Amino acid sequence: MLESYRLRMAALGSYEGEARRRNSQKIMDASWMRDPATKPVYVKWVDSGLPLIDDDDIPVYAKYNVKSYHNITGDEVAYLLQFRLEDMKDRPDIKVGSYVSIPNELDEPEWWLIWHYDDRPQFRQFSIVKCTWVYKWTSFKDGHRIIHQCLGVTRNQNNYNSGCWLDYYTEVVEQQHVMLMPSNLDTNILTYNTRILVSNVGRYPPIAWKISKVQPSVVYDTVRFTMTQEQYNAAVDDAELMIADYKNSYVEPEIPEAEELVGSDIDTHFIKQNLEISYSGKPAVRAGGGFKKFTLKTYVDGKLVDVSDDVEWSVDFGGNEDKLECSIQDNICKIKCLNDYSLIGRTFTITAESMHNSKSIIVEVTSL
């Protein structure tokens, strides 16, 4: 009798503090969906370009709270976002540097950036900041000029002077601007003295800024850029597109597209060595769940883009292929597993073949 009591108590925790934490976590999970602060959100990690919500993206429910309110002399409002532990384990894209789409009270989606991970002992939360501007700039590589876009956060920098610096010969504006961005393929090419246009709509000439400080985070998942204000140059800047140095070269810049990047002028051996099957979360489908999307991509100039060649998909499930439902369109394969619990824990192989090479991955069947 005493031994069974000890075993039952040990299941609750090896000591009182652990038992209290487990009970608190159970209470939190039980009341999660009844909390007014709980909202369905979409989490997106973006390697390049702007975040977009796909049709097969699955929302997660998170608690959206205000940490500190705005005052006239203070900075912006600080917000916190909390996820359940099981969601954080199943979704590796829930991390610092990812974008989160959160609906406001009018049910309008707004993009936020996860900026910091709170390391409190229990009920850990993320600090999030609202994205307010699409920053645009150009780069020049291998004879091509490309327009880069990144959804970021604007912040004002405190100035401890009148805003101008005078040395009896010249007068320089010292207003400062800060932009917060995730560290990805686009922002990693931003260097010192890169010029960017940031201004309110309808203002002409728009305000131009130049990067004067680059501050990556300790673990290099986000980056903070400090910029100083400078003169707008109508000869090279485009006020309509809000892109600085747009006309400083005879080569017209373009936004890269998969059809343009993957062409006959690209080294086929380079593509052959860099095929990749991308997916959200883990390589797993849920028994009785919805469709999981797998996309064949390739690296071109360090960027992951869609393969434009004809792609053939095949699935090997050891004779149980009839337990899977597949939907194939070009370089995208959607797979759904039937509601058969005997398949949980088993794996199958997905193979994608293009005209240059093939790529395979192993996918596991998990429970709902």
| In contact, 154 and 179? CB cutoff 8 Å | yes
What tokens were used for 109? 């989606």
Q: Which residue has the higher pLDDT, 339 or 158?
A: 339
| Residues contacting residue 69 through CB under 8 Å, at least 6 positions apart | 77
What is the chain's percent helix, strand, coil content, to nearest 5? 15, 40, 45
Cα–Cα distance for residue pair 186/196, rounded to 1 Å: 14
Q: For residue range 203-257, what is the model confidence (pLDDT) as tens digits?
A: 888 999 999 889 998 888 899 999 888 888 888 898 888 999 888 776 667 665 4
- According to the model, what pLDDT value does residue 7 have? 62
Inform me whether the pLDDT recorded for 265 exceeds 50: no
Report how far residue 185's alpha carbon sits from residue 45's, in angstroms, rounded to the nearest whole number: 12
Q: What φ, ψ does residue 89 adopt, rounded to 5°?
A: -75, -35
Greater confidence, 136 or 320? 136
pLDDT, mean of residues 306-320: 83
CB 102 within 8 A of CB 152: no
Contact 338, 320 (CB under 8 A): no
Rounded to two decimals, what is the model's pTM?
A: 0.61
52 Cβ partners below 8 Å, 6+ apart?
44
Report all structural domains of the chain as residue ranges with CATH numbers, in order of start. Answer: 1-30 (no CATH), 31-130 (2.40.10), 133-256 (2.40.30), 259-366 (2.60.40.10)
Looking at residue 262, its pLDDT comes to 33
pLDDT at residue 136, rounded to an integer: 92
The pair of three-digit structure tokens given for residue 289, joined into one six-digit string: 């769940």
- Residues 359 and 352: their CA atoms lie apart, in Å, by 5
Closest to 140 in 3D by CA, of 231, 262, 260, 246: 246
Structural contact between residues 208 and 230, judged by C-beta atoms closer than 8 angstroms? yes
The pLDDT score that the predictor gives to residue 144 is 74
H-helix or E-strand spanning residue 65 = strand 60-68
The pLDDT score that the predictor gives to residue 98 is: 93
Give the per-residue pLDDT at 266: 32
Q: What is the pLDDT of residue 361?
A: 86
Contact 323, 344 (CB under 8 A): no
Average pLDDT of the chain is 79
Per-residue pLDDT tens over the stretch 17-51: 777 766 766 766 667 777 778 889 999 999 888 99
Residue 320 pairs in a beta bridge with none
Give the tokens for residue 80: 């916190």
* Contact (CB, 8 A) for 125 and 115: no
**12 has pLDDT over 80:** no
Q: Are strands 195-197 and 275-278 parallel, antiparallel or unpaired?
A: unpaired
Check: CB of residue 361 under 8 Å from CB of residue 350. yes
Residue 137 confidence class, pLDDT cut points 50, 70, 90:
very high
| C-alpha span between 238 and 235 (Å, rounded) | 8
Query: Residue 142 — pLDDT band, cuts 50, 70, 90?
Result: low
Report the helix count and the strand count for the chain, using DSSP H and E.
5, 23
Per-residue model confidence as pLDDT tens digits over 75-95:
566 788 988 888 888 888 899
Q: Where are the alpha helices (DSSP H) in the chain?
A: 2-12, 16-30, 85-90, 258-261, 268-272
- So what's the pLDDT on residue 270? 34
Phi then psi for residue 298, to 5 deg, are: -145, 155
